Amino acid sequence: MAAPKCPSCRKAVALPPENKTFPFCSERCRTIDLGKWLGEEFRIPTKQVEEDEDGDGRPTPGDA
Ligand SMILES: [Zn+2]
């Protein structure tokens, strides 16, 4: 059986109940993953606004 890996740092993690932060290897990795997830939530509206402003079909300067 393959050991589960931390979704944040890809290190092998211990199983519960030994590991209270499963499936993460540590509290720190759990916080990092949560922050990443929230960061993407916040980035979605920003990206939509950029696409609306650039909706004239021309490529953004410096994007090519
Ligand atoms: Zn980790």
Average pLDDT over residues 39-64: 64
Measure 47 CA to ligand 1 centroid, in angstroms.
29
- Give me the percent of the chain exceeding a pLDDT of 90: 45
Can you tell me the distance from the alpha carbon of 49 to that of 59, in angstroms, rounded to the nearest whole number?
16
Is residue 20 pLDDT above 90, yes or no?
Answer: yes
Query: Which CATH homologous superfamily contains domain 1-49?
Result: Erythroid Transcription Factor GATA-1, subunit A (3.30.50.10)
Supply the pTM of this predicted model: 0.56
- Average pLDDT in the chain: 80
Measure 28 CA to ligand 1 centroid, in angstroms.
7
**What are the residue ranges spanned by the domains of the chain?**
1-49
Residue 25 CB partners (closer than 8 Å, separation 6+): 6, 8, 9, 11, 12, 13, 14, 19
Is residue 11 pLDDT above 90, yes or no?
Answer: yes
Measure 51 CA to ligand 1 centroid, in angstroms.
35
Q: What six digits make up the tokens of 37?
A: 């997830």
Residue 45 confidence (pLDDT): 59
